[in-house]
């Protein structure tokens, strides 16, 4: 995860200053970017728009495609 550390500040600033809506959808049991990353994201981003998918891992788009599509379409419609 060298790149995560290397580019951390770049991504944090970009997300904090985004001038377009951003929604993150993540599987909470993902050991790479699951619950711990979502908690950190919500701590860094005021009013974060997140969809936390329980019992799903690193590939929510495969493990729960319907739920991910609902998240995407709901985001677009908002």
pLDDT value for 39: 96
pLDDT value for 4: 81
- Domain 2-77: give its CATH code: 3.40.50.1820
C-alpha torsion angle, residues 14, 17, 20, 21 (rounded to 10): 90
pLDDT value for 44: 95
Question: Which residues are within 8 A (CB) of 57 and not within 5 positions of it... i.e. 6 or more apart?
Answer: 27, 29, 30, 31, 34, 63
Cite the beta strand spans of the chain per DSSP E: 23-27, 49-53
**75 token code pair:** 């985001």
Mean residue pLDDT across the chain = 93
pLDDT value for 51: 96
Q: In which band, very low, low, confident or very high, does the pLDDT at 40 lie, cut at 50, 70 and 90? A: very high
- Mean pLDDT, residues 13-35: 94
**Least confident window among 3-7, 16-20, 55-59, 61-65:** 3-7
């Amino acid at each position: 995860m060298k790149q995560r550390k290397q580019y951390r500040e770049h991504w944090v600033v970009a997300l904090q200053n985004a001038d377009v809506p951003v929604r993150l959808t993540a599987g909470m049991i993902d050991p790479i970017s699951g619950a711990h990353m979502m908690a950190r994201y919500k701590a860094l981003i005021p009013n974060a728009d997140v969809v936390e998918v329980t019992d799903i891992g690193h590939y929510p788009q495969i493990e729960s495609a319907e739920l991910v599509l609902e998240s995407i379409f709901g985001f677009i419609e908002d």
